[in-house]
Amino acid sequence: MSEWRGGVLPDPVPVYPTWPGASAPLRCPAGHRLAIGGTATPRCQPYHRDVVLCLACHRLGRRRAAFALWDISRPRIEPADWRPGRAGLQLVLTPPARAQNPGRITLWLHDHAVGDIDMVLCGTCRVGVIEHVRVDYHRRRLGYGRLLVAAAQYRGRGYAWSTTSIERDNHQLASFWAAAGTADLQRGRPTYCRHTTPRNGHEADPRSLAQLLRVWNSTT
């Protein structure tokens, strides 16, 4: 394939999480050293932003030669009934209504929710439990699930993270969790705390919700 001559990319490209202080990638997802192979920054039309094109991949004719780095540190914070008013890809965080309820991070592409993640956080005990991750079937293999997990764990940096049970015979799901999340994420064995689990029919302490909302709404 010829050298890159400019233009707009018409299809979504894989996304990879980044955050303030994260190191810039030295290699593309295929393993090429970007400083040697070269890069371009074409516009990705569905995302409404510039992305990284690995020129080594492009010369080889790889279908997915481009990728996007997405900042997970500052999602929009909106209520559950919010709908996007502009096109592009957006991360939107919806805090929970009660301390023992999960909050949600939704990934919107234009006016469609292409993925979401539900999780419970406790700022007192510094624990987080990922309860559910969903990505539209026709939008899989683009890194959306990995982005959502990274965005969830970023809300509770330094927390002890776990997930609800994982079907052992679901190889696709097992493959996803082998790639997503940090190394210390406890997969398949949820660890809730007393602030996020109703006990003996009583609601969790209302003060837990106030602290929880501070954790959810924090952008630092």
Give pLDDT, residue 200. Answer: 41
Q: Which residues contact 87 (CB under 8 A, 6 or more apart)?
A: 48, 110, 111
Instruction: Delineate the domains of the chain, giving CATH numbers in brackets.
Output: 8-70 (no CATH), 105-217 (3.40.630)
Alpha-carbon distances, residue 32 vs 11, 12, 36, 63, 73 (angstroms): 22, 21, 8, 15, 27
Answer yes or no: pTM beyond 0.85. Answer: yes
> What is the bridge-based pairing of β-strands 103-109 and 89-94?
antiparallel
Name, in order, each residue with C-beta under 8 angstroms of 16's C-beta and a sequence gap of 6 or more: 25, 29, 67, 68, 69, 70, 143, 146, 147
Q: What is the pLDDT of residues 98-135, one digit of tens each?
A: 766 789 999 999 999 999 999 988 888 899 999 999 99
Q: Which residues of the chain are modeled with pLDDT < 50?
A: 199-202, 220
Specify the pLDDT at position 167: 75
- pLDDT at res. 199: 47
